[in-house]
Amino acid sequence: MKKYYNIHNLVEIIVNSNVSKWIIKDIEFQVRFFIASEQSKSKIPKIEIYPYAEFSKFRNHYEPESIFYKETSAVGKYLNNANENLCIYKSNGNFIIFADYSNFLINLFIQILIVEQGYTMIHAAGYKSSSGLIHIIAGAGGIGKTSIVSYAVINKGLKILGDDIVIIGNKECLSFPREFVLKTYHSKSHEQILKNNNISLFNFYTIKRFIIDNFPFKSLIIKILKKFKLYYNLVRLVNPTPHLATISPDKIFGKGSIESKGKIGKICYMERVKDNSFSLTKINNEVISNRLLSIIHHEWISYMPQLLSLGANDVINLNHYMNRLSKIFSETLIDLDLSQIKVPYNVSEKDLNNFINSKNLF
């Protein structure tokens, strides 16, 4: 049975039957909120997912392939990695992904398609402020975005658009509410949620990571596992995760806590600093655009070789992609209230939220 996901009528994802359960699980972590009961009747860009074996039906066996390191390609059409059972096929503005393992990131392909329509993802949290406008807190992972949106909902009764990724463009912010990733530093702010869902505060990530990283003949074992197509399935079973659990926003805040979209009022770029005091200062359009563009792609750093390979084989036009991104940021951020927040490195969640509150950012 096919699964459908419609992201703000900008992109539709279609997951065909017989696709690996691990692929479905990872896609649902990102876009479960956008699940649809049927295929869209609108003509919007699509990402279709098939098992890798289906690739042979699409491939023109009479067309010579180019060799690109460990991959092959039909330049301008697809990039195929037979060792990884993964092929990315671009056709008429749509992506078709043939895969057996969860070795691609669905968000990267959503991003490429929405950029063509004047939107981009950013690594940020967003909430509908008391003024009715959307306030966005952007920055690297672990700076306190989840804490701020949680406070906004629980203490201020506001609605959120996402705690880690939102979409901006055309002066508006669109929601992208993934499952919340709860980590050990959320143990105080989300203590009751952890208790209600029987989530342990200990997952021994550091110890497990140390054992795996220092396992004898690690590189050789990985090479052998990949050769026999066992690597990715085994990784899912034994690879430690740095978080405690993932939980849907509905379970944390209740139904109706998500705002679909709204006009942007403020964007604050937040960073931790080795200092003892908070600061809030203005930041110019060019600087924040550069930082927002860099941060979102840094979040996808493990998949950057894939993006560059697609560009090198003209499956996507990276030059056009970057130019479009620059234009989107320039047009969206102009005349907005843009600020930079510097937060003491070891500040508590309570003090962080008190500072945000004192600056009328809720």
pLDDT at residue number 148: 93
Let me know whether 169 and 310 are in one domain.
Answer: yes
Q: Is residue 349 over pLDDT 80?
A: yes
Of 131-145, 186-200, 266-280, 294-308, minimum mean pLDDT range: 186-200
pLDDT at residue number 218: 67
Let me know whether 292 and 330 are in one domain.
Answer: yes
Let me know whether 14 and 105 are in one domain.
Answer: yes
Let me know whether 271 and 164 are in one domain.
Answer: yes
End-of-domain residue from the set 85, 115, 145? 115
pLDDT at residue number 227: 65
What tens digit of pLDDT does each residue of 25-45 get?
Answer: 999 999 999 999 999 988 999
pLDDT at residue number 56: 87
Q: How confident is the model at residue 191 (pLDDT cuts 50, 70, 90)?
A: low
Nearest to 288 by CA among 172, 159, 122: 122
What tens digit of pLDDT does each residue of 1-13 get?
Answer: 899 999 999 999 9
pLDDT at residue number 214: 67
What tens digit of pLDDT does each residue of 118-164 get?
Answer: 999 999 999 999 999 999 999 998 888 988 998 999 899 999 999 99
Could you tell me if residue 196 is inside a domain? no
- Using an 8 Å Cβ cutoff, are 299 and 227 in contact? no
Average pLDDT over residues 285-310: 96
Could you tell me if residue 299 is inside a domain? yes
pLDDT at residue number 249: 78
Q: Is residue 344 over pLDDT 80?
A: yes
Q: Is residue 293 over pLDDT 70?
A: yes
DSSP per residue, 256-325: T-B--EEEEEEEEEEEEESSSS-EEEE--HHHHHHHHHHHHHHHTGGGHHHHHHHHHTTSS-HHHHHHHH
- Using an 8 Å Cβ cutoff, are 73 and 65 in contact? yes
Average pLDDT over residues 304-321: 97
Could you tell me if residue 54 is inside a domain? yes
CA-to-CA separations, 230 to 98, 221, 222, 235, 241, in angstroms, rounded: 18, 11, 9, 9, 19
Let me know whether 350 and 262 are in one domain.
Answer: yes
Could you tell me if residue 192 is inside a domain? no
End-of-domain residue from the set 214, 240, 266? 240
> Which domain, by its residues, includes 298?
122-177+258-358
Let me know whether 89 and 143 are in one domain.
Answer: no
For 96, phi then psi, to 5°, come to -120, 120
Let me know whether 168 and 270 are in one domain.
Answer: yes
Identify the CATH number of the domain in which residue 317 sits: 3.90.228.20
Q: How confident is the model at residue 82 (pLDDT cuts 50, 70, 90)?
A: very high
Let me know whether 150 and 291 are in one domain.
Answer: yes
End-of-domain residue from the set 115, 137, 165? 115
Let me know whether 46 and 145 are in one domain.
Answer: no
Nearest to 90 by CA among 48, 125, 152: 48
Let me know whether 225 and 101 are in one domain.
Answer: no
Q: Is residue 252 over pLDDT 90?
A: no
- How many domains would you assign to the chain? 3
Q: Is residue 62 over pLDDT 60?
A: yes
Let me know whether 170 and 281 are in one domain.
Answer: yes
Could you tell me if residue 187 is inside a domain? no
Let me know whether 31 and 89 are in one domain.
Answer: yes
Could you tell me if residue 249 is inside a domain? no
Cα end-to-end distance, the chain, whole Å:
43
For 295, phi then psi, to 5°, come to -65, -45
pLDDT at residue number 211: 63
Average pLDDT over residues 180-209: 65
Q: At what angle do helices 304-312 and 318-333 cross, to 10 degrees?
A: 120
Vertex 160 angle, CA 154 and 164, to 5°: 110
